[in-house]
């Protein structure tokens, strides 16, 4: 219970009257009577305000929210009985989120309810907590204000915005079907899974000819293949300190996670199983699984994972993956490589490539490309551009020294990562390299 602005003003006026009464004894009795009356009225008003009103509060919100998107929360306040109330309400939402629509002030009569909508936008993934809403009630004479807590605490999970990934990231690729607008149709050609024998057609590769069948039929017969579907795509995701870097307000780790989910969505549509092993921080292993179930496991298993200050150990990560992964797979290592990683990365690649096909995706800071694209108008701009060009040349040289096979390394900015991974995956599927 705290005094309201009205009570503070009344006490201040009574105090000023006391100053006047000290000089005019005739006012002294009136001053004492007025003070006693004010005290009695304030105590009675406080006693009435201390009675807990018959209030109920309900909060409606989704249990899962996409990161970076505005969502709506609905608060419904019921007054089942008692005197009319004047109140202000503020919800106990996650303080790191952006807010619109609170605090809220209203009047509520007995037997009625009021409903308030407000909006929130989470800026990071993870688990969050809504506590009890806070109400500030005015006493009947508005001399006091009382604070109450109403409603039930609620937990909420913030996932990557998967609709945005599909709507923007995957449309950057040029492999689409009319139905989905995103993926290449499953097609016949020179994949790895045998489909049928047919007559030779102009343009068929000579290696596709089945010579035994041709001899029996006395005409050229070709083997027809289709892209194999029963394969595994496994991500090796770096959660170390370099992934804390940010571009466009989003960490490299979140960019990597978005790209991972984009490729996982494409892969499960192609009939492949998807899995992930995280390292350099909290280690999580999600075994490869097919279909929408596999994609849902990735979402629920990674949504709350954050990068750490740990340095990545590529060799240890490669050994851990080899212990868990028995079947040949397409392993996608997503990280941010530096000069000092050359030896460890070569060893890790050698370990993994002995059994699996490995693609290393290294993230390059977008600020470097921005410097290259910026006009040079001053000497300082020229120095900045020259330093950037030298750094990029040294970076390219370091990446060449890793000894990765052609096509097994991509060096892109975070925004380019998802389409680059999807393109490379579809090229590999089409070529039958797995």
pLDDT in tens, 244-261: 888 877 889 999 999 999
3-state secondary structure of 207: helix
> What is the DSSP code (8-state) at residue 248?
T
* CB burial string 236-262: b at 16+ within 10 A, e below: bbbbbbbbebebeebbbbbbbbbbbbb
Cβ proximity of 158 and 66 under 8 Å? yes
Closest CA relative to residue 358, chosen from 422, 287, 303, 406: 406
d(Cα 229, Cα 252) in Å, to the nearest integer? 31
The tokens describing 161, both together, are 């915005």
User: In sequence order, what are the beta bridge partners of 193?
Assistant: 226
Long-range own/partner contacts, residues 215-222 (CB < 8 A, 24 or more apart): 221/197, 222/197, 222/198
Which single residue is written with the structure tokens 């607008």?
181
pLDDT score, position 78: 92
Contact residues for 296 (Cβ-Cβ < 8 A; gap 6+): none
> What is the DSSP code (8-state) at residue 102?
-
Residues spanned by CATH 2.60.40.10 within the chain?
55-159
Average pLDDT on 257-267 reads 91
Residues spanned by CATH 3.40.50.410 within the chain?
162-185+228-431
d(Cα 363, Cα 133) in Å, to the nearest integer? 43
CATH code of the domain made up of 162-185+228-431: 3.40.50.410
The tokens describing 212, both together, are 């035994």
Is the model more confident about 128 or about 181? 128
pLDDT score, position 338: 79
- What would the DSSP string read from start to end of 261-325? HHHHHHHHHTT-EEEEEEESSS--EEEEE-HHHHHHHHHHHHTT----SPPP-HHHHHHHHHHH-
Architecture field, domain 55-159: Sandwich (2.60)
pLDDT score, position 327: 87
Is the model more confident about 1 or about 180? 1
Average pLDDT on 261-290 reads 90
- At residue 175 the predicted structure's pLDDT band, cuts being 50, 70 and 90, is very low
pTM value > 0.75: no
User: In sequence order, what are the beta bridge partners of 144?
Assistant: 3
pLDDT score, position 130: 93
Q: Is residue 301 scored above 80 in pLDDT?
A: yes
């Amino acid at each position: 219970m705290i005094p309201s602005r009205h009570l503070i003003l009344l006490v201040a006026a009574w105090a000023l009257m006391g100053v006047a009464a000290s000089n005019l004894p005739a006012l002294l009795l009136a001053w004492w009577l007025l003070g006693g009356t004010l005290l009695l009225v304030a105590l009675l008003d406080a006693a009435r305000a201390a009675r807990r009103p018959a209030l109920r509060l309900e909060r409606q919100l989704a249990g899962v929210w996409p990161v970076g998107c505005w969502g709506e929360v609905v608060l419904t306040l019921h007054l089942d009985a008692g005197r009319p109330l004047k109140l202000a309400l503020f919800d106990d939402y996650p303080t790191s989120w952006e807010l619109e629509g609170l605090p809220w002030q209203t009047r509520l009569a007995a037997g009625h309810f009021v409903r308030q909508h407000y909006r929130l936008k989470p800026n990071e993934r993870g688990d969050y907590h809504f506590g009890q809403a806070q109400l500030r009630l005015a006493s009947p004479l508005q001399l006091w204000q009382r604070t109450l807590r109403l409603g039930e605490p609620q937990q909420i999970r913030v996932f990557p915005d998967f609709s945005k990934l599909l709507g923007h990231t995957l449309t950057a690729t040029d492999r689409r079907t009319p139905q989905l607008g995103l993926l290449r149709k499953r097609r016949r050609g020179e994949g790895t899974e045998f489909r049928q024998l047919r007559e030779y057609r102009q343009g068929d590769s000579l290696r596709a000819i089945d010579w035994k069948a041709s001899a029996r039929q006395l005409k050229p017969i070709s083997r027809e293949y289709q892209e194999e579907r029963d394969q595994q795509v496994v991500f090796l995701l770096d959660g170390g300190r370099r992934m804390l870097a940010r571009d466009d307000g989003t960490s490299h780790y979140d960019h990597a996670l978005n790209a991972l989910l984009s490729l996982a969505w494409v892969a499960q549509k192609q009939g492949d199983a998807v899995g992930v092993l995280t390292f350099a921080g909290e280690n999580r292993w999600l075994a490869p699984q097919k279909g929408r179930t596999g994609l849902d496991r990735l979402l629920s298993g990674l949504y709350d994972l954050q990068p750490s200050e740990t340095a990545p150990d590529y060799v240890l990560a490669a050994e851990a993956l080899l212990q868990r992964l028995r079947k040949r797979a397409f392993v996608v290592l997503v990280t941010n490589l530096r000069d000092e990683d050359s030896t460890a990365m070569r060893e890790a690649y050698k370990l993994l490539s002995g059994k699996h096909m490995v693609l290393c995706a290294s993230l390059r800071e977008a600020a470097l490309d921005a410097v290259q694209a910026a006009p040079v108008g001053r000497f300082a701009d020229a120095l900045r551009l020259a330093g950037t060009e030298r750094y990029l040349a040294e970076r390219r040289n370091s990446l060449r020294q890793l000894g990765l096979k052609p096509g097994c390394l991509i060096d892109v900015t975070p925004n380019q990562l998802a389409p680059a991974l999807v393109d490379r995956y579809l090229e590999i599927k089409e070529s039958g390299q797995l």
